[in-house]
Amino acid sequence: MENLNKKKTKLSERYEIILMAISVLLIVAFVTGLTLFPEEGNALANSILKLLTHTFGSPIMIITLVILLFLIGICFTKYGDIRLGNEKPKYKTITWVAMMFFCGNGAGTVYWAFLEWGHFFNASPQLNGAEIDEAMKYELSMAYDFMHWGPSAWAMLCVFALPFAYHYHIKKDEELKLSAICKYAVGEKHTHGLFGKIVDFIFIFAAVGSISITAGTSASTIASALSDLLGIPNTFALSVVILLFVAVIYSFTSAVGIEKGMSKISDSNVYLCMVLLAFILIAGPTGFIIDSMLNSLGLMFDEFVRMSTWTDPVNGSGFPQDWTVFYWIYWFTFGPFTGLYVAKISKGRKIKEIIINMLCSGSMGLILFFGIVGGYEQSLRIDGILDVPGMLANGEAESIAVSVINTLPFSKIALILYLFVIVLFLATTLDACAFTLSSTVSKKLRPDEEPNKGLKFAWCLILILLPIAVTYAGTNIDTIKSIVLATGLPLVVLLFIVYFGFLKTMRKDYRGKTKLDIIKESKLEK
């Protein structure tokens, strides 16, 4: 008995056992409640979503634009040259960027790249308050693709990465959790008290909810592809097998660690993505796809400020609120989890390196993905081969990716490649999430240390079992999604608290030092 008590004491000294237990129990209770009372849950979700997008729409748009401009501005200040640990970066740049990319957008990229422009085409957003013709619908739908997955989206992820990275690599604090970076504003007492526990629970709820939804939608897409490829029924059992298979992959990557697991898979998936996109580009109408991408990219930049601030107050179409504001809140819920992971893998990088690569490299990767896939799909509709917007209107979203790939030459080979890409996307996203959740319930984590393997495995199981349970119970995914997004508002408040302390501390640490001084300090020895 004495040995058992000692073991429990050691566990409580190393891990936030109570926080993890309460978080898991509350998440299970939440899903169970929505399953038992679906109508009430749906009504609550709709109310929350309307409150978030319509009532707070304008402030969220302003905050998003300010965050983007703020991050760009930091690059030109002395603080942009601060190196996060005065040593050579652990990962080569392409590996580092790949891990950021797959952590932040993962499986959602592969899923939404085949659907997004079709939704916008059907919604028919206006341009400068005027009705648009069908040609402009094509152009504007892809421009909004680039807008919602471009620099502003990455800014929401990057803004959380900076205080995490500074806290972990400059201040050398071994607590890697959202509550820990609040201490520079509210003090140690509050971060280790009730306030800190609430903050970490919000983080866990947002991360688990968001990733579980991603896992559920990705599994259904993979199931549709396998069903078509192997000629087997698309059943619930197939989705379960897929999720368990993915669990095996990312449990293995979690066990071997970031350097041998996540980094290797990310590298491999970069090349697989490049092969898939190159194949679609070459097999499809290459000229049209390139022209469409360039045209829509120019349209996005030309209309960027209007698209970032358009609220449509006169006509009241609801498009900015239902899509743009929705997305900014959506990225906010992903921000802390992505930021924590990016901070961990960014030792040896300068602050401006993180900003530039997240805003530019991340955005260009997504523009290529959405642009090539979307451009090819648009050509299919123009040629009368496949109507993606029509399929969306008919509720056939899950089969769109397979239907599009089947129009390609050597479609079976392309479908196998697609399956590899989306499975690895999902595995890396889940791996990153398991890492961040494990870090949150770990009291100390040294710079070269990874969370306990058993703890990561436990989170792996939770992240897989939850979407399985949701699918089995028939719980409305959109309802859960809307309620998860409710964490976006408290995260906005927390962001202001975090940055009040972060900027104050950074200014204090580097007071009296010029940009040249910081550059000299950050210079690596050859």
Question: How many angstroms separate the most distant Cα atoms in the chain?
Answer: 77
CB-based burial of residue 159 (10 Å sphere; 0-12 exposed, 13-18 middle, 19+ buried)?
Answer: buried
Beta pairing partners, 130: 127
Using alpha carbons, select from 169, 140, 109 the residue that is nearest to residue 331.
109
CA 441 to chain centre: 21
pTM for the full predicted model = 0.88
Tracing tokens 């652990």 back to the chain, one arrives at 90
The predicted pLDDT at position 409 comes to: 93
Beta pairing partners, 133: none
CB-based burial of residue 195 (10 Å sphere; 0-12 exposed, 13-18 middle, 19+ buried)?
Answer: middle
User: Both ends of the chain: CA-CA distance in Å?
Assistant: 56
Reading the block at residue 180, the tokens are 């820990």
Residues 436 and 341: their CA atoms lie apart, in Å, by 6
User: Could you give the dihedral angle defined by the CA atoms of residues 434, 435, 441 and 444, in that order, rounded to the nearest 10 degrees?
Assistant: 170
Computed on alpha carbons and rounded to an integer, the radius of gyration of the chain in Å comes to 23
Q: Which residues contact 19 (CB under 8 A, 6 or more apart)?
A: 197, 200, 201, 204, 440, 441
Tracing tokens 């679609």 back to the chain, one arrives at 280
Alpha helices in 234-319 (DSSP H): 236-256, 263-283, 286-302, 304-309, 319
The predicted pLDDT at position 128 comes to: 57
Tracing tokens 């056992």 back to the chain, one arrives at 17
Residues 373 and 352: their CA atoms lie apart, in Å, by 31
Q: What is the DSSP letter of 258?
A: I
The predicted pLDDT at position 448 comes to: 65
To 5 degrees, how large is the angle CA 356–CA 357–CA 360? 75
Reading the block at residue 244, the tokens are 């368990």
Using alpha carbons, select from 494, 162, 205 the residue that is nearest to residue 357.
162
Beta pairing partners, 350: 83
Reading the block at residue 20, the tokens are 């993890």
Residues 291 and 289: their CA atoms lie apart, in Å, by 6
Instruction: Please give the C-alpha separations between residue 264 and each of 153, 252, 455, in angstroms, as whole numbers.
Output: 26, 12, 22
The predicted pLDDT at position 422 comes to: 83
Residues 337 and 484: their CA atoms lie apart, in Å, by 14
Residues 94 and 21: their CA atoms lie apart, in Å, by 38
Residues 520 and 65: their CA atoms lie apart, in Å, by 33
Reading the block at residue 375, the tokens are 């451009």
Q: What is the DSSP letter of 177?
A: S
The predicted pLDDT at position 476 comes to: 64
Kindly provide the b/e burial profile for residues 70-103, where b requires at least 16 CB atoms within 10 angstroms of the residue's own CB. ebbebbeeebbbbbbbeeebbbeeebbbbbbbbb
What string of pLDDT tens digits covers the 526 residues of the chain?
A: 444 444 444 555 666 777 777 887 887 787 777 777 777 777 877 788 788 888 888 999 999 999 999 999 999 999 999 998 877 888 888 888 877 776 656 667 788 889 889 999 988 776 655 667 788 889 999 999 999 999 999 999 999 999 999 998 899 887 888 899 999 999 988 888 889 889 998 888 888 877 777 777 777 788 888 888 888 887 878 878 887 877 777 666 656 555 555 566 666 777 888 899 999 999 999 999 999 999 999 999 999 999 999 998 888 888 898 889 988 988 888 888 888 888 888 888 999 999 999 999 888 888 998 999 999 999 999 999 999 999 999 988 888 989 999 999 999 999 998 888 888 777 777 777 888 888 888 877 666 677 777 777 788 778 777 777 777 766 666 676 777 777 778 888 899 999 999 999 999 999 988 888 888 887 765 5
Backbone phi, then psi, for 94, in 5-degree steps? -65, -40
Residues 259 and 97: their CA atoms lie apart, in Å, by 14
The predicted pLDDT at position 145 comes to: 92
Categorise residue 384: left if φ over 0, alpha if ψ from -120 to 50, beta otherwise. Answer: left
Residues 76 and 483: their CA atoms lie apart, in Å, by 38
Q: Which fold has domain 42-520?
A: Amino acid/polyamine transporter I (1.20.1740)
Tracing tokens 């309620």 back to the chain, one arrives at 483
Q: How many helices (H) and strands (E) does the chain have?
A: 27, 0
Using alpha carbons, select from 77, 94, 71, 156 the residue that is nearest to residue 337.
156
